[in-house]
Structure 1
Amino acid sequence: MSVFFLASFASARDYDTPIEGRWSVEKINAWYDELPWLVGCNYYPATAINQIEMWQAESWAPERIKLELDWAAEIGMNTMRVYLHDLVWADDEQGLYARMDEFLDICQRRGIRPFFVFFDDCHRPTAKLGPQPLPVKAYHNSGWLNSPVRELAERYSWGKATDTEVAWLKGYVQRTMERFRDDERVLMWELYNEPGRGQGLNGDMQSTAVKGAFGDQSKNLVYDSWLWAREVNPSQPVVSNTAGSVGKKNISINRINSDLHSIHSYRDVEGTKKVIAPYLEDGRPIFVTEWLNRYGGSIPQSMLPYFKENKYAAINWGFVSGKTQTTFHWKSRQGRNVEKELAEGNVVKPGESFPEPEVWFHDLLRMDGTPYKAEEIEVFKELLK
């Protein structure tokens, strides 16, 4: 594909008009009304530091996943938000689908209907297949990855992605959706997590002035991902993150095209009400696809009753604490250089215990299944009876 063609295509994008195929308000609410109150977490096994380590063949860990999802089922969880990565797909498409099938079977046996996320602008801008880095000690998400890598995302935004790269990203979305488009084990599809977010250190998820953010440079891939998804027209709803993203255009494209709303709020009940309020006028279901910030009052004891009362899907960040170390606050990254600390060996080595802060930021269980706070787990169990 020539640069000229890409530039022409970009100029033809109408960011402000919904792309044909969005479910009507009546259709999406009829679909949602048939579902139980949905509760789960952003899921990856504790043994995976990122999306690649979860899904590539050499580190695929189905027995660990079975163990952790047994714990989730015991709590009463019935959904999971699960990230994929385009590099795994490009390297081993059919192998990835086989592992997704196995994952879906594991979930189905436990009464869990997960959904998958394709793209993500958060955290490390580079990625490669193979052995993944060890966790940097006491560092929140030292190994989580952009998808696609930032360098490609930048060139895509400039209209300079190659033929092969455009086909790769389009194929990743479309062929994956086509493979599972009528699979009842899949709850829905989420195209993009927090487009524009970058490596920001600002804990205010509604801020549009985040240090290091990519912003509306993501808008072309955000828009094109909607074109690709609507061409497939899967039987499941399609959504892309709004509140939690950075860039007015990113947020607007996703809001006017999403069948329902995927919203992030790490605030307490009153703060979360303010985040959700603008979306209520659309009359579409609300999925709070990231929450849980014990430093900010976003805790199970208060948030879960509020979510249940309003039938907002509740999907907190993290389940079993492990390699991602999201028990540590976002601020644990400030003033630190991941690459330097990796080179110096300031890492949690295999077999070593993970450091644990006095107050956990995210996550619910330790690697042996014991809860950070038993009373939190009891709230889940009581409300999910």
Structure 2
Amino acid sequence: MNRRWTESEIWSWYRDHDWISGCNYSPSTSLGGMFALLQEYDHETIRRESAKEIALAASVGLNSVRVFLPFEVWHRQRDAFFAHLDEFLALLDSYGMTLMPVIFNDCLPPKSQYREPVFGPQPEPKPGFFGGTDENSFDTATQTGKRVGYSVFDEPDMQPVAEQYVRDLARHYGDDPRILIWNVWNEVGNSSRDHMSLPLMRQAFAWLREENVSQPLTAEVWGAQMPDDASYYTWLNDPHFFGDIDRESLALSDIVTFHYYGDYLHAKRLIALLKQFGRPMINTEWMHRPFGSCIETHLPLWKREGIGSYFFGFINGKSQLNVVWDFIKPYPSVDQTLWMHDIFHADFTPYDPDEIAVLRACNADKTLPDSCSVFLAPPSGGSCQRR
């Protein structure tokens, strides 16, 4: 569609689909994630491993995955990028699953830590760090505003490349039903970038609409313009909007997407706040056991409210998504013995079998509206308990 969808149009689209129940997926066997899957090097090995993981996702009833597209592979190995992405889409489709691709991202390390992506064999993880590396956007100094995340698109000569990238994606997949929604930008304003990415985000939305893609477009609400990490921790207990960055994302988006890692009661408060915009909602990032964001409580909440779901992580692997973000490590109230993300060990055994039982129960019937109210009791403590 070459304009923003009306409320009537997006509700009609949403009701024509099953309830969305998915995860944020990255192949667990390589630190490179989707980069490793889509590059030329040793593709068949990681493809086989990913096929097993997607089969597991389908077996627990997931019907969609959200992935961060690796621009660098498109830029330097375009043929491999599209051939391998086509293959991945075919794999998903064989299980009745769809894809939400993330095109741009503001969760970025500062320029002093920026490293060109490594093609070929991927580096091994550094133990004890979320993402498998200490060069990430989650360390305390970055979060407190002392260092600004760096994007290659900050360079003036990258604007035409960004446009080519967006239009190329649109021309390949703009009418492909295997692509559910375009997540145009992940957490715009994060990594102390503030308004830096807004001009390109506006352009990206415009380019996709000029290409007349058939899928909805979105950029999520996540609590932008928080001055430091302490404010983020406070925001979990008082979810609200922090200014024009989130509001611009809402104004551009066809469908309301949001990220929220807070507990059950405050998640309900955020839902009430977002309902004012009158559009369907999807939580594209959630599940943070130390913060009390739990499958047992939150997944039934999203389903009862008709809100789509992509919890963060899936199979624990080299990205070490079980490790808490660096900037919350000093918080004494955060139980860091709990896994932050992921629901399966590397051998495919559940982290918590009760989580899988709730997941299967909620996914058994994806018609809208529906309820899993039998599971709606909030946890007794402030965080999820491993059983």
TM-score range, shorter chain: 0.7 to 0.9
**Aligned residue in 1 for 2:38:** 55
| Correspondence 1:25-104 to 2 at 5 A | 25-50=7-32, 51-60=34-43, 61-104=46-89
Unaligned stretches of 5+ residues in structure 2: 138-148, 227-242, 331-335, 365-387
Tell me the TM-score normalized by structure 2: 0.78
Distance 1:222 1:20 in 2: 16
**Aligned residue in 2 for 1:128:** 117
Q: Note if 1:142 corresponds to 2:132.
A: yes
Greater Cα shift, 224-233 or 263-272: 224-233
Distance change in 2, residues 1:42/1:173 (3 Å):
same
Cα RMSD after superposing both structures: 2.2
Match of 1:166 among 147, 159, 171: 159
Distance 1:233 1:269 in 2: 38
Following superposition, the deviation at residue 251 of structure 1 comes to 1.8
Unaligned stretches of 5+ residues in structure 1: 1-18, 156-160, 199-212, 336-356
Q: Note if 1:298 corresponds to 2:323.
A: no
Following superposition, the deviation at residue 119 of structure 1 comes to 0.7
User: 1:235-271 CA distances to partner (integer Å, 9 max, x unpaired)?
Assistant: 1111112224447343222110101011000011211
Distance 2:349 2:6 in 1: 43
| Correspondence 1:5-16 to 2 at 5 A | none
Q: Please say if residues 193 and 245 of structure 1, whose CA atoms lie closer than 8 Å, have aligned partners that are also in contact.
A: no
User: 1:210-259 CA distances to partner (integer Å, 9 max, x unpaired)?
Assistant: xxx11112211222211212111211111112224447343222110101
Q: Note if 1:281 corresponds to 2:276.
A: yes
User: 1:130-187 CA distances to partner (integer Å, 9 max, x unpaired)?
Assistant: 14332110111135878xx8153444xxxxx02xx21211111111111011111111
**Aligned residue in 2 for 1:241:** 220
Distance change in 2, residues 1:62/1:244 (3 Å):
farther
**Aligned residue in 2 for 1:158:** none
Match of 1:270 among 255, 262, 265: 265
Q: Please say if residues 2 and 210 of structure 2, whose CA atoms lie closer than 8 Å, have aligned partners that are also in contact.
A: no
Following superposition, the deviation at residue 39 of structure 1 comes to 0.7
**Aligned residue in 1 for 2:253:** 258
Partner of 1:359: helix, strand, or coil? coil
Partner of 2:190: helix, strand, or coil? strand
**Aligned residue in 2 for 1:178:** 171
Q: Note if 1:377 corresponds to 2:372.
A: no
User: 1:33-82 CA distances to partner (integer Å, 9 max, x unpaired)?
Assistant: 01111111100110232442232121532111110011101100001101
**Aligned residue in 2 for 1:152:** 152
Q: Please say if residues 174 and 214 of structure 2, whose CA atoms lie closer than 8 Å, have aligned partners that are also in contact.
A: yes
Q: Please say if residues 139 and 333 of structure 1, whose CA atoms lie closer than 8 Å, have aligned partners that are also in contact.
A: no
Match of 2:312 among 309, 317, 328: 317
Partner of 1:365: helix, strand, or coil? coil
Question: What is the number of residues matched between the two proteins?
Answer: 323
